[in-house]
Amino acid sequence: LGELRSALKGKPCRVYGADLKVAIASKRRITYPDGSIICGPPEFHPAAGAMRDVVTNPRVLIEVLSPSTEQYDRTGKFDLYREIESFEEYVLVAQPFPRVETYRRFPDGSWHFEAFAGIEAVARLGAVQVTVPLREIYAGVEFPPSASASAPVEGS
């Protein structure tokens, strides 16, 4: 999230951590993304009251995948997020190897998948027009030699 904050300097978007919840009004649900990006002023859910910790207008949502949450993050949570009108890009960050996946919604409603794998890759978030090197995202993380060069290909 720190790298995204730096990349978004001077833009009308702001990065928030896991302490900001997201409301899916159509499903009457609240979710807890690992990170989010909101462009323009945050729109707070009326039920949040004075707490102002539940928003309705994220543009980008970020999840760090773990063995216990990966399946839900990829399916059920993503299904919920797609109900949010302002939501344009979903970012999934792997833990055991350097890999970032993005799903971006286009104006026609279609979704485009892109994967950035390997420590030398640079992830692109098209919804907010920024790039972030995986080397910076994973700074300080030690991977086995085979994991730092690439990540497994889906289906293998």
**Cα dist from 50 to 5, 45, 46, 55, whole Å:** 26, 10, 9, 13
pLDDT at 28: 84
pLDDT at 124: 97
pLDDT tens-digit profile, the chain (156 residues): 889 999 999 999 999 999 999 999 877 899 999 999 999 999 998 876 667 899 999 999 999 999 999 999 999 999 999 999 999 999 999 999 999 999 999 999 999 999 999 999 999 999 999 999 999 999 999 987 766 555 554 443
pLDDT at 152: 52
Give the residue carrying structure tokens 């990829």: 74
For residue 148, give both structure tokens: 């730092």
Report the DSSP beta bridge partners of residue 114. Answer: 102
Using DSSP's 3-state secondary structure scheme, residue 78 falls into helix
Distance CA 64, CA 34 (A): 7
pLDDT at 49: 67
Helices (H), the chain: 2-7, 70-74, 76-81, 134-137, 145-149
Query: Do the beta carbons of residue 103 and residue 112 sit within 8 Å?
Result: yes
Query: Do the beta carbons of residue 61 and residue 91 sit within 8 Å?
Result: yes
Report the DSSP beta bridge partners of residue 91. Answer: 62, 102
pLDDT at 149: 52
Whether the model clears a pTM of 0.95, i.e. scores above it, the answer is no
Amino acid at 24: I
